[in-house]
Structure 1
């Protein structure tokens, strides 16, 4: 072999075949070829009575080499490799540890037995890439754990812990050491009584006789996934495990995989997968610049946002102190955090005892002197520039040299905030999204003097906290909120021109967002946008009037919608419809029927145009960074790939033409295509071409 990715060792009648392909033992061509070669050698050796399949490094295989997707296949394929293990005449035991994912688990399912260490986790997450398990996973897993549990696992893509895997029948034993445990297990099995997973039928017998339990489990697994292709394909494939013979089910699985892998939805999800990783590569900051170690954090402000930010540190095992202005505010903040943990435990999202373990990492103080002990200080006070500048001026005299000083502002000038200190290189923005303990996006706002060390530390902190960090430039609203402002303007216009909030929300939800913009506004609080508009000297006739009436959304029971008796379900309100008509008449706007297609275009195309401006100005490094921001921070459906990816699918020429139309129709020249969008459209190119050119130039 040209590349030695798979080794073979034989001792005491047991052959150990070991994959060694760091970092995650991906099943690329060299690995697959090596597995076939070493399995043949072990089978041919008369001294070998059993075979252990193992992996070197920190984990069992994480599955297929995703970089091979879309390229011409090279034999042996993963199906062929698994079939060889499946048909081996000697017992084969997979030794699982770390994470065993995708094709790695499918390979393990092709073995006769599986053992795992207690900390091992395993799963089939292909759905997260818009795919289904394509190497027999949808056929073998149901035969081990039953179709109902299999469909839930495959549609969600969630990992299964070793204890649950043992209870369900996915593994055969929990061992203290993966390889030695598998060797010991090998000595207990009878080679004459081998049963391939594909030949097992006891776990699928009930579904064959009565599929109702399976259909209920499938409906539950997909109830929030309307319009998403991969989950539906996963359900059909698992259904085939008990309605078709194994070989027919496997062929149907392969056909479904091939259909999905060339489809737009899977292309979009794979784009986001790579974009998330690419976002952490910052021009001018090489791997030699390491993030500083964070041993203690301080969050200034114990409100909803501050408490949520602090929870991230405790969740990551980092001690955190909340600093508040007085004891009452501090007590409220800590009580809110405790209550959030308690609710998660009650719902089963966190194990019992988690609240006390996490709260043990919290402390609170009204004494700013505690800031001197922190490696990172995050300010999360009211969104007002003067107040934030006062906080940073005070911080400057207390925080230790080299501590990272971050503002959680969502719109304000990070450079102005940094100028309040004598150490602007240590200052940047870390824009968390609400709820901060849940949302994955972290916009890292790079000021003009933010140091490479500060940026590297912020990225490292984001990853430690389980966030998806994206570095952006400093401007009003940065990337996400700057684009959102464009959509918000169109929401107001559409209401005046003839669309009702419920129609707009229905179109946006049908596109794939979890909520429409009006329902989202009610959830966030209409007074937030009202306050920002007043600060900017802007107006929004309908929305401003609602706020003047005290209709701030869910928290007041009235907003764009009405929420009766504490309900969170939005109900259209005739009073709002009358207000819209009144404001339109006062402004001389003749209301008309507006199509769903026009609504969709006006909800997305102005944002895409703003993304192009953001790229023109260098606020975002690359189009895929914009996509990551919107997928992880604003609910853009991952299977649509983000605004820039979606724009390329639609075609920038079409988008530019529609923007020209709307700019004329509403009399707003800012809707006209910006220079970059126009240039790309005229050249018949998309954002992908822009990214390639920018990468080549750098």
Structure 2
């Protein structure tokens, strides 16, 4: 049983004990109901306190029961709350640390609530594409007021308990021991006698309720246009204002059941679970010992190296930053400070925070200064000979047990590891630019990478607030291997009849933050050019359009040169369609004897997204990614795939693998169709009505 029942001086104490955050699983719900019944049947008990053990009061639903029969098995949370409300003896919810989702709804069902300062209070269901399903939209406005409740429910953002201390949510804020404070309050509540107050009996009072609700709708019109849940939250609150508690409660439930079925909620829940699943590695148990990481070394003070260093500085870890020349080192340090100063201007850091972080940097020109680092990450030029020089020097000076990591985005990690006498200590840590902002960290597991090294880096990723996804060794790993096929299709469509602005607009309308050509201009077109040159040598049979090569031969490398697929005005990042580029593309098609045709936006999106899906399926077949959700997490956190679509593999599941395979076979009959042979996994799943994410 996930609930402990004791009696302390005439007060029954029901302690939720379901680590890590006292999720309200079936056994917990059952234990609460049984505890309430037991206390009400005991003449020696005059009041009841519900409190959480460990780290939280309750974080809400037990995620281990999602999509299982236990999630809806009686007693449901609604039934539990009814038992609290019906108790003849006063029920006091004693809140510490966290009361979120169903945990807050449980507390709202109690007659009284006490809390300690610093507790995080939230109804975050909207972040899963849902709304509170056990009365949260009806009870919270009755205790904190309409405007505060709207802000909390529509955003899902936690609010500290002390900021709500003056509302009717809390009857008392306890300074000191929470249980003792709750017991004292429970005795006073019992002394007052019943009937004890119920939140449902309170009115929602506001002089301009209709205006507040309308302004809430206007405020989310743009930010939530792809997500139905925020609008439904407002609708449910409005129903309670207009028609009272019971009708509001029924409408809330109706909305909840409808939202559960939406593709947007499915996508958000997929992302929620996918992030947690990414940290679980089948052959690396959760109790695998990890290495102590207290000092970091970063080689390279350029844009990537500086960004990588900032992650560790932010986490309180000292960083030794190595460059080969003093001017490059100085520029790197200056850039890091400038990035921090920009955060001060935005109110995200104080000047004191900046100085604390900068004090943790030890700039150096000597490899010898990395000798005591527990983890060294190289962020040097993406060329194997350069990496070899770095790792051979590291192998000589790094202490035993130090982890040696490469930030390579495409090169063979096993080859890099072979440059050392300690390949078990070598791992890939592929950050995405800007490294201090982007959430994704591809962790590349080499053939000889030790399990404790992998476990250590995955744990460290959490400390620096990254979503870490494990990839096997292949050219481009998960993300860049897939994006290459996406870019390849975009280039084919240029020679077939489309232009950069149309392709970018179509995929941005689908939901990407940036289309392939704006993305290439931002990253630098010369980077892709270097990769293609290597492809031409290593895979001469692979068919590529040479349009992008011609662009680079024109010196149009993107924003950094003021000209790429688009034109750029000095000091501005606005992408302006370029007649010179458009004319070049049309001329290229003519030279190749290709008759240009009109390509619709639907075809553009389908070819780009399904190119990702097909390569993703091959990555799964080869074991480069362990599961489809890992691929989705890479694309949601590193490549701006639209969150409400859940990632390329979930998107394919949503539209149906039979439709995916049919589209691939259709494109195989067109020009450049050699790229469209469906991966074996696509065909198998299409024939069996299966899904990548089953």
- How do residues 114-129 of structure 1 correspond to structure 2 at under 5 angstroms? 114-129=113-128
CA deviation string 1:270-329 (max 9, x = no partner): 333333333333233234422212111111111221122112212222222211223322
CA separation of 1:492 and 1:626: change in aligned 2, threshold 3 A: same
In structure 2, the residue matched to 1:636 is: 641
Range with bigger deviation, 655-664 or 545-554: 545-554
1:371 aligns with 2:370: yes
- How do residues 476-487 of structure 1 correspond to structure 2 at under 5 angstroms? 476-487=475-486
Provide the rounded CA distance (Å) in 1 between the counterparts of 2:102 and 2:530: 51
In structure 2, the residue matched to 1:649 is: 654
CA separation of 1:587 and 1:163: change in aligned 2, threshold 3 A: farther
SS at match of 2:528: helix
Range with bigger deviation, 661-670 or 84-93: 84-93
Provide the rounded CA distance (Å) in 2 between the counterparts of 1:350 and 1:94: 36
- How do residues 381-420 of structure 1 correspond to structure 2 at under 5 angstroms? 381-420=380-419
- How do residues 114-193 of structure 1 correspond to structure 2 at under 5 angstroms? 114-166=113-165, 170-171=169-170, 172-173=172-173, 175-186=175-186
SS at match of 1:591: coil
- How do residues 232-271 of structure 1 correspond to structure 2 at under 5 angstroms? 232-271=231-270
Provide the rounded CA distance (Å) in 2 between the counterparts of 1:25 and 1:165: 23
In structure 1, the residue matched to 2:321 is: 322
Provide the rounded CA distance (Å) in 2 between the counterparts of 1:343 and 1:56: 41
CA separation of 1:207 and 1:372: change in aligned 2, threshold 3 A: farther
Provide the rounded CA distance (Å) in 1 between the counterparts of 2:2 and 2:347: 42
In structure 1, the residue matched to 2:59 is: 62
CA separation of 1:187 and 1:288: change in aligned 2, threshold 3 A: closer
User: How well do the aligned residues superpose, as a CA RMSD in angstroms?
Assistant: 2.6
Provide the rounded CA distance (Å) in 2 between the counterparts of 1:26 and 1:326: 54
Q: CA deviation at 1:351?
A: 5.4
Q: CA deviation at 1:82?
A: 1.8
Provide the rounded CA distance (Å) in 1 between the counterparts of 2:527 and 2:600: 30
Provide the rounded CA distance (Å) in 1 between the counterparts of 2:76 and 2:308: 46
Range with bigger deviation, 96-105 or 504-513: 504-513
Provide the rounded CA distance (Å) in 1 between the counterparts of 2:561 and 2:188: 67
Please report the TM-score for the alignment, with normalisation by the length of structure 1.
0.91
Q: CA deviation at 1:258?
A: 0.9
CA separation of 1:191 and 1:584: change in aligned 2, threshold 3 A: farther
In structure 1, the residue matched to 2:691 is: 686
How many residue pairs end up in the alignment?
683
Provide the rounded CA distance (Å) in 1 between the counterparts of 2:582 and 2:284: 53
In structure 1, the residue matched to 2:16 is: 19
Range with bigger deviation, 260-269 or 186-195: 186-195
CA separation of 1:405 and 1:200: change in aligned 2, threshold 3 A: same
Provide the rounded CA distance (Å) in 2 between the counterparts of 1:266 and 1:475: 33
CA deviation string 1:37-79 (max 9, x = no partner): 2223334555655432201122221111234444443222111
- The structure 2 residue matched to 1:577, chosen from 582, 601, 609, is 582
1:36 aligns with 2:37: no
CA separation of 1:679 and 1:227: change in aligned 2, threshold 3 A: same
Provide the rounded CA distance (Å) in 2 between the counterparts of 1:360 and 1:170: 43
In structure 2, the residue matched to 1:622 is: 627
1:613 aligns with 2:613: no
Provide the rounded CA distance (Å) in 1 between the counterparts of 2:308 and 2:133: 39
Q: CA deviation at 1:382?
A: 1.5
The answer to whether the 8 A contact 1:557-1:566 is kept is no
CA separation of 1:418 and 1:222: change in aligned 2, threshold 3 A: farther
The answer to whether the 8 A contact 1:166-1:174 is kept is no
Q: CA deviation at 1:383?
A: 1.4
Range with bigger deviation, 549-558 or 332-341: 549-558
The answer to whether the 8 A contact 2:216-2:234 is kept is no
CA separation of 1:316 and 1:119: change in aligned 2, threshold 3 A: farther
SS at match of 1:405: strand
- How do residues 504-543 of structure 1 correspond to structure 2 at under 5 angstroms? 504-537=503-536, 540-543=545-548
Task: Give unmatched runs, 5+ long, in structure 1.
Answer: 690-698
Q: CA deviation at 1:168?
A: 6.5
The answer to whether the 8 A contact 1:152-1:218 is kept is no
CA separation of 1:683 and 1:43: change in aligned 2, threshold 3 A: closer
SS at match of 1:389: helix
In structure 2, the residue matched to 1:196 is: 198
Q: CA deviation at 1:206?
A: 3.4
Provide the rounded CA distance (Å) in 2 between the counterparts of 1:194 and 1:228: 39
Task: Give unmatched runs, 5+ long, in structure 2.
Answer: 538-543
CA deviation string 1:129-185 (max 9, x = no partner): 222111111222233334444333333332223343436665452533332233344
Provide the rounded CA distance (Å) in 2 between the counterparts of 1:281 and 1:13: 45
CA separation of 1:532 and 1:115: change in aligned 2, threshold 3 A: farther
Q: CA deviation at 1:361?
A: 2.6
CA deviation string 1:629-679 (max 9, x = no partner): 222221223332322222222222222222122122023423211233223
Q: CA deviation at 1:194?
A: 5.4
CA separation of 1:567 and 1:462: change in aligned 2, threshold 3 A: same
The answer to whether the 8 A contact 1:7-1:19 is kept is yes
- How do residues 545-564 of structure 1 correspond to structure 2 at under 5 angstroms? 545-564=550-569
The answer to whether the 8 A contact 1:291-1:459 is kept is no
SS at match of 2:424: helix
The answer to whether the 8 A contact 1:554-1:563 is kept is yes
- How do residues 265-344 of structure 1 correspond to structure 2 at under 5 angstroms? 265-344=264-343
Please report the TM-score for the alignment, with normalisation by the length of structure 2.
0.91
1:667 aligns with 2:665: no
Provide the rounded CA distance (Å) in 1 between the counterparts of 2:333 and 2:110: 51
CA separation of 1:501 and 1:219: change in aligned 2, threshold 3 A: farther
CA separation of 1:330 and 1:133: change in aligned 2, threshold 3 A: same
